């Protein structure tokens, strides 16, 4: 089966190559897109460079600390609200109502502010972290010494394009999801019979899955392109689409492999969580390792597809030279 896929991939890339896509003029041979090499080499690179797990560990610990503070603030606020409702004398109904109103308003403000800060603390650093993963992956894929400092500088310098690309891709996802959710709600609101509703929802769900898979495939290389080629958000989207148009089958298979691995590790983490303390620590380690591993894989896939690294590789002859940190 792999040989037949190899022949298909080779034929597809030859056709696209003949159409003279000016960004890349290289025919990707099937053996160049060895998914086992993408998955295996990226895995081994983390094993050989355990320091690469440090950024993810720091990020997760920071989230846990902030989540603890967030829950503590909510707990204290809820206690304050409960106390304020009884602080005034029963005979002084007006003062009691004012105290309750004030404490409720304060609690609402605290909750909204905490939610906004929570979003900023999680999402904005995650954009930088994704760039850091790919910069580290670029180093390791090119057999260079891992330098988290240099990788951080690279990710920081590309932060605005990464953020813009993330916002654009998220909006695209929300629009796609919104359309299908809206259609689903319209079907359910049409007062049809249960059987008719199910028969209409099944093809809608299938169509939604297909569209979302296409979305995942075509945006798969977005951040990797921005980090490695040092391009803007729009150019990064265009380049990601160009790469996916030649390798969509391989990206799809890779996403399935990653989904299977994620499912297996998720089950393992759930089972380990039963163990009081050691299980939680092991589950945390698995989560840190998986996040880092999956984060650097797009960089490895990029270089496999482009026949890099190497001075004679086709990617080095392109106008926009990828910068390896």
129 near 59, Cβ under 8 Å? yes
286 belongs to a structural domain:
yes
State residue 111's pLDDT score. 67
What is the C-alpha to C-alpha distance for residues 296 and 132, in angstroms, rounded to an integer? 9
Per the structure, the count of domains in the chain is 1
319 belongs to a structural domain:
no
What is the C-alpha to C-alpha distance for residues 32 and 9, in angstroms, rounded to an integer? 10
63 near 322, Cβ under 8 Å? no
Compute the average pLDDT of residues 211-217.
94
Is the four-CA dihedral 83, 84, 88, 92 of positive or negative sign? negative
**Comparison of pLDDT for 72 and 6, the residue scoring more:** 72
State residue 85's pLDDT score. 57
pTM metric for this prediction: 0.75
Compute the average pLDDT of residues 180-197.
83
Q: Which domain holds residue 143?
A: 33-312
Is the pLDDT score of 176 beyond 50?
Answer: yes
85 belongs to a structural domain:
yes
Is the pLDDT score of 207 beyond 60?
Answer: yes
3 belongs to a structural domain:
no
98 belongs to a structural domain:
yes
The pLDDT confidence band at residue 47, using thresholds 50, 70 and 90, is very high
- How does pLDDT run across 115-158, given as a tens digit for each residue? 777 777 788 899 999 999 999 999 999 989 999 999 999 999 99
What is the C-alpha to C-alpha distance for residues 148 and 145, in angstroms, rounded to an integer? 10
CA distances from 295 to 29, 116, 137, 144, 320 (A): 25, 25, 8, 18, 23
The pLDDT confidence band at residue 243, using thresholds 50, 70 and 90, is very high
CA distances from 320 to 106, 137, 190, 225, 316 (A): 53, 19, 53, 11, 9
CA angle 34, 37, 42 (to 5 degrees): 140
186 belongs to a structural domain:
yes
State residue 67's pLDDT score. 81
Tell me, what DSSP letter sits at residue 30? G
Write down the mean pLDDT value for the chain.
79
Is the pLDDT score of 325 beyond 80?
Answer: no
290 near 266, Cβ under 8 Å? no
Return the minimum-mean-pLDDT range out of 103-112, 189-198, 261-270, 275-284.
Answer: 103-112
11 belongs to a structural domain:
no
315 near 308, Cβ under 8 Å? yes
Q: CB atoms < 10 A from the CB of 281, how many? A: 11
24 belongs to a structural domain:
no
Find the radius of gyration of the CA atoms of the chain.
25
């Amino acid at each position: 089966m792999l040989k037949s896929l190899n022949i298909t991939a080779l034929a597809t890339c030859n056709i696209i190559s003949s159409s003279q896509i000016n960004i890349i003029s290289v025919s990707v041979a099937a053996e160049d897109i060895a998914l086992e090499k993408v998955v295996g080499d990226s895995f081994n690179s983390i094993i050989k460079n355990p320091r690469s797990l440090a950024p993810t560990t720091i990020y997760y610990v920071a989230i846990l600390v902030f989540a603890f503070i967030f829950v503590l603030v909510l707990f204290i606020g809820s206690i304050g609200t409960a106390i304020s409702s009884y602080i005034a004398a029963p005979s002084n109904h007006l003062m009691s109502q004012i105290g309750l109103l004030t404490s409720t308003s304060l609690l609402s403000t605290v909750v909204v502010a905490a939610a906004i800060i929570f979003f900023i603390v999680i999402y904005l650093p995650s954009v930088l972290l994704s760039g850091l993963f790919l910069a580290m992956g670029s180093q390791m894929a090119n057999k260079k010494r891992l330098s988290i400092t240099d990788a951080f500088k690279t990710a920081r310098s590309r932060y605005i394009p990464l953020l813009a690309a993330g916002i654009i891709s998220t909006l695209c996802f929300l629009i796609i999801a919104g359309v299908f959710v809206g259609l689903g709600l319209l079907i359910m609101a049409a007062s049809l019979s249960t059987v008719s509703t199910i028969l209409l929802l099944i093809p809608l769900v299938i169509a939604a899955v297909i569209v979302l898979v296409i979305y995942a495939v075509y945006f798969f290389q977005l951040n990797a392109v921005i980090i490695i080629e040092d391009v803007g958000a729009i150019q990064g989207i265009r380049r990601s689409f160009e790469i996916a148009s030649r390798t969509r089958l391989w990206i799809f298979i890779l996403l399935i492999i990653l989904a299977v691995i994620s499912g297996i590790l998720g089950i393992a983490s759930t089972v380990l969580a039963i163990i009081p303390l050691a299980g939680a620590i092991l589950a945390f380690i698995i989560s840190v390792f998986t996040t880092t591993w999956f984060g650097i894989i797009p960089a490895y896939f990029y270089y496999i597809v482009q026949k890099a690294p190497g001075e004679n590789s086709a990617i080095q002859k392109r106008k926009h030279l990828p910068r390896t940190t």
